[in-house]
């Protein structure tokens, strides 16, 4: 037996690598994927089978946590400086993009399980640099541990960002339980490249249950349909997409126009200078 055959994980294109090669799904593409029945199984829960988040959340000093989040908003870090000395816009974007994957077509997506931490969401073009927001939250997550889930912490950070900037919120409701691995049973589209848009048919009829206009976006392309600055066509896309996210026109204007008063994270620089997404880093 030669050295290459002893070690399946080897460098070089001509050497075999674990996980590569033709799979059963390649031979039988219509075969049911039963592995998704075992995802996020209680047997693999890193918190343990007896973990009860509702009970842990009751023990949380919510006011102390909020004070720590308020302090974080203006605690600018050299490795990722706060815009104009305040991280509010970044955390509002993180919270919205956590919730913004929800669609009414199948009730999937949303902020309920903290999946922004995992692929593919952590590496979507629309979520660029939100890994920095979660890194900023990491010391606070470590401090409060099991008493606050990532799912709750990301939304609470958005709430506190708004409050820190003078906005009065309706309050906060906790109870979002984290998953601990990617949710492979959610259909995000058939495209094989970021910003692909093979989800339309007929007179720009968007495939159900999808809501976003392109692969890797939360909602619409800010540059217009397919990157074309057409205000009328953009309005149609916006109305369709946000309706599929359970929002009417008034709510859509409040979110898109009001939300962007806190800042924006698109169109700021040359895409050629952007490094690899988190999952590829």
Q: Which residues are catalytic?
A: 97
Residues 112, 147, 154, CA angle at the centre, nearest 5°? 40
Between CA 76 and CA 88 the distance in angstroms is 11
Q: What SS3 class is residue 258?
A: helix
Contact 149, 240 (CB under 8 A): no
| Helices 150-164 and 88-99: angle between axes, nearest 10 degrees | 140
CB-count burial class (<10 Å; 0-12, 13-18, 19+) for 86: middle
DSSP state, 48?
-
Closest CA to 209 of 185, 234, 231: 185
């Amino acid at each position: 037996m030669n050295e290459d055959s002893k070690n399946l994980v080897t460098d070089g294109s001509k050497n075999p690598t674990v996980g590569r090669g033709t799979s059963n799904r390649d031979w039988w593409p219509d075969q049911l994927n039963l592995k998704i029945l075992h995802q996020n199984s209680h047997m693999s829960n890193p918190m343990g089978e007896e973990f009860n988040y509702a009970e842990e959340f009751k023990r949380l000093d919510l006011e102390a946590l909020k004070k720590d989040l308020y302090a974080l908003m203006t605690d600018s870090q050299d490795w990722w400086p706060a815009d104009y000395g305040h991280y509010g816009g970044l955390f509002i974007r993180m919270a919205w993009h956590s919730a913004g994957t929800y669609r009414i077509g199948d009730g999937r997506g949303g902020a309920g399980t903290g999946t922004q931490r995992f692929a593919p969401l952590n590496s979507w073009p629309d979520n660029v640099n939100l890994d920095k927001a979660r890194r900023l939250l990491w010391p606070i997550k470590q401090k409060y541990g099991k008493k606050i889930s990532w799912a709750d912490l990301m939304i609470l950070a958005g709430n506190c960002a708004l409050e820190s900037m003078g906005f009065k919120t309706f309050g906060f409701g906790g109870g979002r339980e984290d998953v601990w691995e990617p949710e492979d049973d959610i259909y995000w589209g058939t495209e094989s490249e970021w910003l692909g848009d093979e989800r339309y048919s007929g007179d720009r009829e968007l495939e159900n249950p999808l809501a976003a206009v392109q692969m890797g976006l939360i909602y619409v392309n800010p540059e217009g349909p397919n990157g074309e600055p057409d205000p009328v066509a953009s309005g149609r896309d916006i109305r369709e997409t946000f309706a599929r996210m359970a929002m009417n026109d008034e709510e859509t204007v409040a979110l898109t126009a009001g939300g962007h008063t806190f800042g924006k994270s698109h169109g700021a620089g040359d895409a050629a200078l952007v490094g690899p997404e988190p999952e590829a880093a």
